[in-house]
Structure 1
């Protein structure tokens, strides 16, 4: 897993592009904001949430979205969560019902399915979960002489892992490194020799990187406030008008099987179809065909 996780990471320059503004970090925050709310609404597990954001980061790092279109990032977020839920969850709502948490835009089911294919192709269909959640139990057991860790320690570890999603600085580290750092953190105060001994049992990891990640976790002023800040990600009020086929979520209206569900009184969008049209998806594919070959 430590070897294979390297094939399931964002592009190498992703973090720097977020730092220098080449990629709009607010788009990532908005996507995380909605995914977090939707997962909470449906009580999805931590692995599903982290996997969805992993797909999003990998996609966002290589695919150039249409400029100034907030609906595009929302559609990608829905597609990523839909893929993660189908793999990690037992009870999965329909793609239309998945759009909980008061998103600004709603999309028809077949539109989300088309976007899923775009995401899958960009990720080369490598969607096996390699997240800190997959490593944490093993590392905690290693540090506990092979014994199963307590439920409270696992719960605390998962909470910390979720809080690392928001901070882009953690994108510098691989999932296994984050899990190892979290395992060290929940074990309490450790001397240098204890850290050396612990890291030595984490096969394939570099001590310096694990310690650096541990220090970053320790620097978080408040894990609880960090988690709360996810729900406070602001969305710009100057959103562009919806393209043909995308409705404002405020209308609470979409189409399924040829029938309109919900209503949008006194809205200029009532004449629009609630679907991102084939022409739009095809335009994405054509306009980015060359760059996709180079990046994906």
Structure 2
């Protein structure tokens, strides 16, 4: 596949994922001010604990655990051509989980199992069409371990319980259409390339931890200045 063809595919994949996200999460396609206020109000329910970033920076929480899990999620999404909306959602689950629940110390398999489960749940919420077998989802991330479906399902249930089943999370991607409408005007639809680029920029911020200082709406707004 040429670079032009790949770029076109990525744009289309990102937009399809984004539009699916809006429908799946109950967000209207055209957000009004009241809807945005409701989303901002819900942000804290969909955020890690307030001391999470400080604990990562101080070493109280092992940053390598997050980095390893995130690296696997990104490799899997790249291998399966899963877009940035799903990456942001999986990372949201990962950070919220790690902020309140400890993994077994020094267990690389537990880190990967958590990453697999977070991505699997995000894929289900986003209704992304990927191979149904859990093993296919895992192979996309160049895994060190491959888990049977029953173990992934058990970890998914743990993640669900820890997150209190709040999976329809408000992420920075949720605000893209609203902030772009402020730039382009409500009567002009932003191009697929602009939306795709905005989503990719937002997803790229999750590679580090500095973005955790900001609320989802603040990140969504600031990324429109790229």
Q: What TM-score range do you get, normalising by the shorter chain?
A: 0.7 to 0.9
What is the match of residue 126 of structure 1? 166
Query: Residue 126 and residue 59 in structure 1: after superposition, are their counterparts in 2 closer, same or farther (change >3 A)?
Result: same
TM-score of the superposed pair, with normalisation by structure 1: 0.61
- RMSD of aligned alpha carbons: 1.1
Larger radius of gyration: 1
Partner residue, 1:240 = none
SS at match of 1:116: helix
The alignment's TM-score, normalised by the length of structure 2, stands at 0.79
Please point out which of 143, 148, 154 is paired with 2:183: 143
Shift of 1:169: 0.6
How many residue pairs get matched?
185
1:160 aligns with 2:201: yes
Deviates more, 1:86-95 or 1:11-20: 86-95
Structure 1: tracts of 5 or more residues without a match: 187-296
- Given that residues 45 and 89 in structure 1 are in contact (C-alpha distance below 8 angstroms), is that contact kept between their aligned partners in structure 2? no
Q: Secondary structure at the match of 1:98?
A: helix
Structure showing the higher strand proportion among its residues: 1
Which residue does 2:68 correspond to in 1?
30
Highest RCO, 1 vs 2 (Cα 8 Å, sep ≥ 6):
2
Which residue is equivalent to 1:99? 138
CA distance in 2, matches of 1:91, 1:166: 25
Q: How does 1:1-296 map to 2 (within 5 A)?
A: 1-93=39-131, 94-100=133-139, 101-146=141-186, 147-183=188-224, 185-186=225-226
Query: Between Structure 1 and Structure 2, which shows a larger proportion of helix residues?
Result: 2
Detail structure 1 runs of 4+ shifted over 3 Å in the superposition. none
How far residue 131 of structure 1 moved from its aligned partner, in angstroms, is 1.3
